[in-house]
């Protein structure tokens, strides 16, 4: 991944706690905080442990219960419940939301993903609806603007082919984007260079050579 001077950064200092009314998870003080740079980071936790809450907090949609955090870059939160008007075809959504050149690129990738861009959004399957949102987020990224994409379960409903296309795109693109992706991987060999885990009410970051890289080894750490 190419790093620019204005690389995006997400900082979660020790003491940061997230939740709605009750605390869901906290960055442990003794860990000295978490700092994420450009690249793809997977956010892993069991159901109801605070993945969505953490993403919403980082996006500025929700206030942290305690402590503070920093997001240096242009954020985009792609929440799981993001839906568009049911009558709008993907083509119209892209044209309305993306720049002309990026819209063309999005349409090309949509063709590759077998997404019917002329079909009304409401008539698309769950997986195809996710493709629309993912394409929108990916092609909203502006060169040199230190983008931070907060993707909440973007693979829900996606077939293995589409998921691999996106993961391959993330690896290939040298855009310096920071992607924080919450997901529930469905195969043990899924590789993760950097992962943020929420387990036992603690938010921890695993990266570097010594830590497990595959979902099969990581999932045993989750509680």
Partner 1 sequence: MQLYRLTLATMLQRKVWIIALLCALLLPIILPYLTPHESNPSLIEPARAQAAWICLWVVTIAWVFFQAARFGDDTARSGLGAYFLSAGVSRVSQMMQIWLACLTFLLPLVAITVALCLIGAMPSEASQAKMWVATNMQYAALFLLVIMPLVMLAAAVGSRFGSTIGYLVPLCLSVYGIYGVGYLAMMTTVQNNVLLDWLYVVSPHYHLADLTPRLVFRHGSMLGSEFLHLVAYFVGIKLVLSMISTLCFQAKPVT
What does the binding site for partner 1 look like in residue numbers (CB under 8 A)? 20, 56, 59-62, 74-85, 87-89, 92-93, 95-97, 140, 150
d(CA 199, CA 219): 10
Residue 62 or 204 having the CB closest to partner 1:
62
Q: How far is the CB of 144 from partner 1 (least distance, A)?
A: 16
Q: How far is the CB of 102 from partner 1 (least distance, A)?
A: 12
Q: How far is the CB of 77 from partner 1 (least distance, A)?
A: 4
Give the closest residue to 103 by CA, choosing from 149, 77, 136, 75: 136
How would you classify residue 27: left for phi > 0, otherwise alpha for psi between -120 and 50, otherwise beta? beta
Q: Which residue number, 73 or 185, has a Cβ lying nearer to partner 1?
A: 73
Pick 30 or 81: Cβ nearer partner 1 = 81
Q: Smallest distance, Å, CB 198 to partner 1?
A: 19
Residue number, 77 or 117, with CB nearest to partner 1: 77
Least CB distance from residue 29 to partner 1, whole Å?
Answer: 27
Nearer to partner 1, 83 or 222 (CB): 83
CB of 81 to partner 1, least distance (A): 5
Q: State residue 17 phi and psi, 5-degree precision.
A: -125, 145
- Measured from the CB atom, the residue of 41 and 56 that comes closer to partner 1 is 56
């Amino acid at each position: 991944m190419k790093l620019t001077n204005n690389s995006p950064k997400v900082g979660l200092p020790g003491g940061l706690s997230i939740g709605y009314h009750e605390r869901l998870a906290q960055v442990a003080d003794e860990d000295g905080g978490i700092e994420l740079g450009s690249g793809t980071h997977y956010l892993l936790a069991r159901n109801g442990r605070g993945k969505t809450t953490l993403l919403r907090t980082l996006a500025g949609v929700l206030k942290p219960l305690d402590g503070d955090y920093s997001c240096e870059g242009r954020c985009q939160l792609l929440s799981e419940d993001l839906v568009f008007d049911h009558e709008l075809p993907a083509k119209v959504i892209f044209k309305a939301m993306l720049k002309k050149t990026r819209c063309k690129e999005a349409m090309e990738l949509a063709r590759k993903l077998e997404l019917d861009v002329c079909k009304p959004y409401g008539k698309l399957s769950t997986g195809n609806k996710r493709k629309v949102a993912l394409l929108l987020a990916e092609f909203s990224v502006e060169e040199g603007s230190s983008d931070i994409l907060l993707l909440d379960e973007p693979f829900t409903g996606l077939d293995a082919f589409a998921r691999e296309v996106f993961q391959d795109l993330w690896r290939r693109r040298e855009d310096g984007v920071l992607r924080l992706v919450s997901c529930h991987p469905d195969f043990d060999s899924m590789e993760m260079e950097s992962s943020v885990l929420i387990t036992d009410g603690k938010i921890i970051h695993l990266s570097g050579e010594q830590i497990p890289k595959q979902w099969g080894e990581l999932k045993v750490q989750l509680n």
